[in-house]
Amino acid sequence: MRGSRTLRDLMDFLHFHKPDLVFLLETKMTSCQMGNLKSSVGMEGILCVPRDEEGGGFSGGLCLMWRRNISVSFLSSSFFYIDTMVTWEDGYVCRVTGFYGEPVATRRHLSWHLLRQLASEREGPWLCCGDCNEILVIHEKTGDAIRPQRLIDNFRSALHDCGLYDFDFTGYQFTWDNRRIGTANVKERIDRGFGNLELIQKWGGFLCHHLVTMASDHCPILIENVAPMSEGGGVGRRPRRFIFEEMWSKEEECGQIINQTWRRGGHLDIRFMLGPLGVWAEICWYQI
């Protein structure tokens, strides 16, 4: 975040996409610098964890910023997360956590312990996003040595224990590139968004859009709620009880959604199907 090109990219992102919340990682900035950043980009509020300067280092730094139309209450934070409760204009309340996974593989189990601890602290709709520094399936990495399966399994187990479901994505399949040449090049999908069952039942489906930037080795992630809006424009409407209709099985598109979701993790827990199927049913059936 310290380069002028990175700042320009951030301002362009905010101008074109107008997100309610922005979570930044590895800012390498002090609290004062992040406060100045908030003013520069025109956001209303900010919570930050400054860079870790212990021992003269300049690593880390987390920042959560938001616009005027929402209210954010601080819950807790560390060098690896910022946990909040967010209230939207329509009164809907959701827990939002920005998360940063341990970059050292031998210490990554500490991240999953932390995630489980956060999951146990509160109930209700929960959206979690950030750089987990780990992949969920083997094909989410290319180049260098194959990721040990035990590291992947540890990540998957943590998500399962926390009741978090990986959001689908659009765009380029990788979110991080070490920008080296030839056989030294490594790409991974380590930045993502998750939601628990309460969130999916309340708001429907979510998508992570992998955007493009030349200013960082990570691509920006835009998380979008893709559930249909109510007539009043709100998304906090009372959810429809999900019941799978037998007639849906005759629809080719329904079968495609089930197959895609199954491959992306639906086999771990059938509730993973609720978001994608619920959105499809709302559009194609309930509004007929």
pLDDT digits (tens, 9 = 90+) for 210-238: 998 888 899 999 999 986 444 444 444 44
Reply yes or no on whether the pLDDT at 3 is more than 60.
no
Single-letter code of the amino acid located at 35: G
- Domains of the chain as residue ranges with CATH: 4-234 (3.60.10.10), 240-288 (no CATH)
Distance CA 114, CA 183 (A): 35
Question: CB of 169 within 8 A of CB of 207?
Answer: yes
Which of these ranges, 158-167, 173-182, 221-230, has the smallest mean pLDDT?
A: 221-230
Reply yes or no on whether the pLDDT at 239 is more than 50.
no
Query: What is the tens place of the pLDDT at every residue in 243-253?
Result: 556 666 667 76
Question: CB of 41 within 8 A of CB of 13?
Answer: no
Question: CB of 28 within 8 A of CB of 51?
Answer: yes
Q: What pLDDT does residue 142 have?
A: 95
Most confident of the ranges 106-110, 143-147, 202-206: 106-110
Q: What pLDDT does residue 79 have?
A: 94
Q: What pLDDT does residue 228 have?
A: 47
Residue identified by tokens 């956060």 is 118
If we measure between CA atoms, which residue out of 2, 3, 17, 78 comes closest to residue 47?
78
Cα end-to-end distance, the chain, whole Å: 48
Reply yes or no on whether the pLDDT at 287 is more than 70.
no
Q: How far is CA 206 from CA 2, 43, 80, 129, 278, in A?
A: 31, 24, 24, 12, 11
Q: What pLDDT does residue 237 have?
A: 42
pLDDT-derived band of residue 107, with 50, 70 and 90 as boundaries?
A: very high
Residue by residue, DSSP assigns 60-126 as --EEEEE-TTSEEEEEEEETTEEEEEEE-TTS-EEEEEEEE--SSGGGHHHHHHHHHHHHHH--S-E
Burial of 33 (0-12, 13-18, 19+ CB in 10 A): middle
Q: What pLDDT does residue 286 have?
A: 44
Residue by residue, DSSP assigns 123-171 as -S-EEEEEE-S--SSGGGEESSSPPPHHHHHHHHHHHHHHTEEEPEEES
Distance CA 261, CA 168 (A): 9
Query: What is the tens place of the pLDDT at every residue in 24-61?
Result: 999 888 889 999 999 999 899 999 998 776 645 557 89
Reply yes or no on whether the pLDDT at 283 is more than 60.
no
Give mean pLDDT, residues 95-105.
Answer: 97
pTM, two decimal places: 0.78
Return the number of other C-beta atoms located less than 10 Å from residue 212's C-beta. 9
Reply yes or no on whether the pLDDT at 151 is more than 60.
yes
Distance CA 258, CA 275 (A): 11
Largest Cα separation within the chain, whole Å, is 64
Which of these ranges, 51-55, 93-97, 180-184, 279-283, has the smallest mean pLDDT?
A: 279-283
Distance CA 287, CA 120 (A): 37
Distance CA 88, CA 202 (A): 14
Give mean pLDDT, residues 134-154.
Answer: 94
Query: What is the tens place of the pLDDT at every residue in 58-75?
Result: 578 999 999 988 999 999
pLDDT-derived band of residue 265, with 50, 70 and 90 as boundaries?
A: low
Q: What pLDDT does residue 233 have?
A: 41
